[in-house]
Structure 1
Amino acid sequence: MAQRNLTRPSEFLLLGFSEEPELQPLIFGLFLSMYLITVFGNLLIILAISSDSHLHTPMYFFLSNLSFVDICFTSTTIPKMLWNIYIQSQVITYEACIIQVYFLMLFAGLDDFLLTVMAYDRFVAICHPLYYMVIMNPKVCRILVLVSWAISVLHSLLQTLMVLRLSFCEELEIPHYFCELNQMVQLACSDSFPNDLVIYITAVLLAGGPLTGIFYSYTKIASSIHRISSAQGKYKAFSTCVSHLSVVSLFYCTSLGVYVSSAVTHSSNLHSSATASVMYTVLTPMLNPFIYSLRNKDLKRGLKILFEEACCILHWT
């Protein structure tokens, strides 16, 4: 029997990680803990940077923006998943699914562009240190962030509008814990070739372009560090890049892992893509604050100042 087309379905079913009832409390507790760590960790980074005037520099300006985006990125998916587990439901409305797709694409794109901007910041700091404050002045920093927002907003709007043109069949089960773009396109009964084409082209441009920029920046950085005569100077220059390189590697490796997993996933293992997606939607935003704070003396000082101010406020209240 042919499936009946539904141009605008009322809801989708998010299958999540497992349908076993006994595993739901464990999944709920695990993801609630990871979400709270992500929110509070990134919030502490933002507050530490804002409270310490020594951290009002381009590098930490971009880092605070990255922390804000990571909070929003995780908040797009995890609260809905936790609520569904709590009420023992797998339902998400069509409208909520479209909104989730939009904001997922928006914040994923912003993560990508901000990491590229931060690589450019390190390139200028190491390769052109005498002109650093001239090139990376506050106006330029704000423009770089605004351009990142503008491109990400337009891209996510394009992808969302492309999804809105699709009609869907009766089987609306998404083997994921959120409305993932590729999974939604695969559920369509109408011609999805334009969607696949747009996804492919934008992935090449908006992922390959920033990655090329990051690679070029670090090629120049490596060349500049190699020309430094003293070992201490080399170590100091390289140490300013270690945290960013770690985050870039984590972001791109986990994202690549998700798409490789999706490509090789068969119907017998529908939940593997959802499990792989945890790496870049939850784990990477959660680890970013730890990566940037563990080896950063300036940020540790900012966190210390923040805690001292908080203790003083609590003492006087």
Structure 2
Amino acid sequence: MLKIAWSSKYAHPLPAGHRFPMEKYDLLPEQLLYEGTILSENLFEPSFLEMDWIRGPHHGSYLDKLTQLSLTKSEIRKTGFPLSSSLVEREVHIMDGSVKACLFALEHGIAMNIAGGTHHAFSDRGEGFCLLNDIGISANYLIKNQLAQKVLVVDLDVHQGNGTAEIFQEVGEVFTFSMHGAANYPLQKENSDLDVPLPDKVGDEFYMTTLKKNLLPLIDQVAPDFIIYQCGVDVLATDKLGRLGLSIEGCKERDRIVLELAHQNQIPLMCCMGGGYSEKISHIIEAHANTYRLAQELFF
């Protein structure tokens, strides 16, 4: 059974009208339930992850400031969010959702978190709508509990996974692959194990060819026994922050390449949703929903 982390806390910690599209976290499961892609039993409620697991990839001093709401104004501004206790609570629930989704993926082959993909959170700070790094925490959890020996992070959000790259820059058990817009945020890129920067406005054909060329050889080169997939839909041509040119069908084909690769090689895979900032919320929901439809089609 496809298991999906979702919490009502995902969508409601920010003031009304905030530019981050929180409503997608409610609309996406509603759409999937309405169309019959999932049933209510596919959803599970995350809770609080033990602080020791959050502390693994993150500095204790940063966590203390975050949980005590004592970040400086500059530090808060870089996150893009107004800091509050409900926001921190939301982040911790997202971390637990991704860790538990990894455990379900080990059992069922794939599992998903309707939130997550918080790849701009560094070991010592938050940035770009990310306070804690669920990819870092999840991969660390798998390695430390000997549930995986080699984790491959496939980050196909339009923005480089800079925080994830920094967290794992000296961790041999985790291989970070990021294919992203070259001219997009962040201006200062980190060094992933493999970075593939893309020029503005690339379309479906160029994108898929480039993805296959770089991703497929990693199965033999890296020999992962777990994949964490950051599948942001800000690669769409309609995205306000993306600068790339993918269609909704192209975004679906991107997901198919990754999911089929995991399925054919029997590598457990956890999907976390990442970004999406199209003007029409329907474009965001449709692109995200395709990932879940493909998971059901390919794995169950």
Q: Do they fold alike, i.e. is TM over 0.5?
A: no
Give the structure with the larger helix fraction: 1
What is the TM-score normalised by the length of structure 1?
A: 0.26
Give the structure with the larger strand fraction: 2
State the structure with more CA Rg: 1
Structure with more relative contact order (C-alpha pairs < 8 Å, separation 6 or more)? 1
What is the TM-score normalised by the length of structure 2?
A: 0.27
